[in-house]
Amino acid sequence: MSAKASNKVNFSKSYNELQKIVEWFEKGNVDLEDGVKKFEEGIALVQDLKKYLSNVENKVKQIKIKFEKGETVSKDEDEEEDEKDTNTLF
């Protein structure tokens, strides 16, 4: 599995975990202690997902700038940049 495929799976997994937490809260009859724990988990997931989406947005902006300048980036160069990117979340 490539790094990009792995990123997609992890994003999807985190998003699905967040959805399960939301559904749990929506059912009602929430135990206070369990609710606090799940709330903390949810907040952490939201922060991770926001950071990941911000990185994706920045990547799209970089690609757009290169496109507007007429520059091309081969797939191999693009993957090397991904590996060097220390902001990648997953």
Listed by start position, the domains of the chain span: 3-84
- Res 80: pLDDT: 55
- Res 77: pLDDT: 55
Q: Which helix (H) or strand (E) holds 1?
A: none
- Res 87: pLDDT: 45
CA distances from residue 64 to 6, 61, 81 in whole angstroms, order as listed: 24, 5, 15
Pair 55, 85: CB distance under 8 Å: yes
- Res 86: pLDDT: 40
Average pLDDT on 15-19 reads 96
Q: What is the mean pLDDT of the chain?
A: 81
- Res 83: pLDDT: 52
- Res 72: pLDDT: 78
- Res 70: pLDDT: 87
